[in-house]
Copies of this chain bind each other. A is one copy, B any other.
C-alpha cells in the first residue's frame, strides 16, 4: 500500500500501520521542512528515499575529488588478482552515499552532527549495485535548554538484493520546532566504543596475500610492520575549494542547505558554507595513503568527531596513530589496524597535533577512530 498523507495525525496513524512512512509533512505545504526533535519517536523506522545505482561514473568523480591511490579500488586487475571479483567501490564513497539518504529525514534541522559509532562495512559494493537506506530511532534526549535535543539513529545501507552493506549509529543535535512541545522519555542507547576484531572483514573476500604486489600497491609496509603507538605524518596538504565540496556532497545526493547556500550562510553562524564533515574524512583517507598504502579496506569506524568546521580556502593535513593491531579471528590473509586519523586545517602535522589536556588543538577538524585491513 502506498501511503497518502494529508496531515501529521494521518502521518502518525500510518506510521503505526506502515513502516515505509515518510514522516515529515509540513502542514499544507508540499515542501519537506525536515523533522524537528519532537517529530521523532523511539523505535520509529524510516525508509529513506532516493535509491541509487552506484556506477563507474561515481568512482571517477570521487577520484577527481580525492585522488585516492589504493590499488584495490583503482585497478580491476589488481583487485581480481588478490581475490575480489573486480575493483570494489571505495568504502567511504559507499558511506557517503548511504549517509546522504538519511539527511532529509534525520538531519535537515540539525544544529550539529555529534558522532558516529559501531559503523561496519558488511558487504563489498560494486559498480552497478543499487543502494538504499533505512534508519531506526534508537535514542532521544532533549537538552535542558528545551530548544534542541539529541536524536540517536541506527542507519543501514542495503543493496538491490536486500543485503546490508553498511550499518552504523549516529547522533545529531536537532532543533525543536516548538520549545513548549513536551520532552520525550529520555533514552541514551549503549553503543560499543569500538567494533570487535571478530566483526571485521565481512566486506573483504579472502585475500591472496602472496599475490598482493607491494610495488604495484605503492607501499612495502604490511600488517606486521606496524606497531601500536606508532605515529605517521601523512605530510601533504590539500586545499579545498567550494566547487569541490559542493560537487562531492551533491554526488552523494546530500542536499543539506548549509553546504550550498552562501546567500544564507554568509549571514549565519559561520559566515561561510560549512563543508560536509564527510569531505574531511575522505581527504584524510586519501592523504593517509602516504604511510598506510596497504590499508586497502576500511572495515569499520569506531567513532568520529567533527571537532571543528571546515571551510573552503583552508588546507587539510592529516596524521595517524596506530591504536592497536589485531588478528581477525579465522583470517590468515589479513590483519587489522585500529587507527586514529586526525585531520587539521592549515596546520602541518609533523608534530602530531591533537589535544592540550582535554581540549583539542584549535587546528584539529577531525578525530576518526577506525579499523583498516592490511595484507599479512
Contacts and interface: CB of A to CB of B under 8 A. Distances in A.
A323 to B, nearest CB: 16
Contacts of A22: 214-215, 218-220
A78 B64 contact: no
Number of copies: 3
Interface in A334-362: 346, 348
A290 B69 contact: no
Contacts of A324: none
A143 interface: no
A294 to B, nearest CB: 10
A105 B365 CA distance: 31
A198 interface: no
B58 A60 contact: yes
Interface string A38-73: 000000000101111101111111011111110100
Contact of A253 (B69, B236, B246, B293): B69
Contacts of A236: 255, 257, 260-261
A213 B20 CA distance: 9
B232 A261 contact: no
A52 B64 contact: no
Interface string A250-280: 1101110100111110000000010000000
A179 B66 CA distance: 35
B64 A251 contact: yes
Interface residues of A, number: 97
Contacts of A219: 22, 30, 32, 49
Contact of A104 (B216, B218, B250): B218
Nearest to A293: B49
Contacts of A216: 20, 47, 49-51, 132
B261 A237 contact: yes
A50 B71 contact: yes
A270 to B, nearest CB: 14
Contact of A215 (B49, B71, B212): B49
A244 interface: yes
A63 B263 contact: no
Interface string A306-317: 000000011101
Contact of A71 (B30, B49, B87): B49
Most buried by B among A221, A246, A248, A292: A246
Most chain-B Cβ atoms within 10 A of its Cβ — which of A249, A263, A264, A313?
A: A263
Nearest to A74: B52
A21 B20 CA distance: 55
B220 A25 contact: yes
Contacts of A145: none
Nearest to A224: B4
A199 interface: no
Nearest to A319: B31
Interface of A: 2-5, 20-22, 25, 29-33, 47, 49-53, 55-61, 63-69, 71, 74-78, 87, 104, 128, 130, 132, 160, 210, 212-222, 225-226, 232-239, 241-244, 246-251, 253-255, 257, 260-264, 273, 290-293, 313-315, 317, 346, 348
The 6 closest A-B pairs by CB, nearest first: A57-B60, A67-B250, A49-B218, A263-B315, A51-B75, A243-B243
Given A30-B225, A63-B251, 7 more contacts: A51-B71, A53-B77, A60-B61, A67-B255, A236-B261, A263-B317, A264-B315
12 contacts: A2-B214, A21-B215, A22-B215, A25-B220, A32-B218, A49-B71, A51-B74, A57-B60, A67-B251, A77-B160, A239-B273, A262-B315
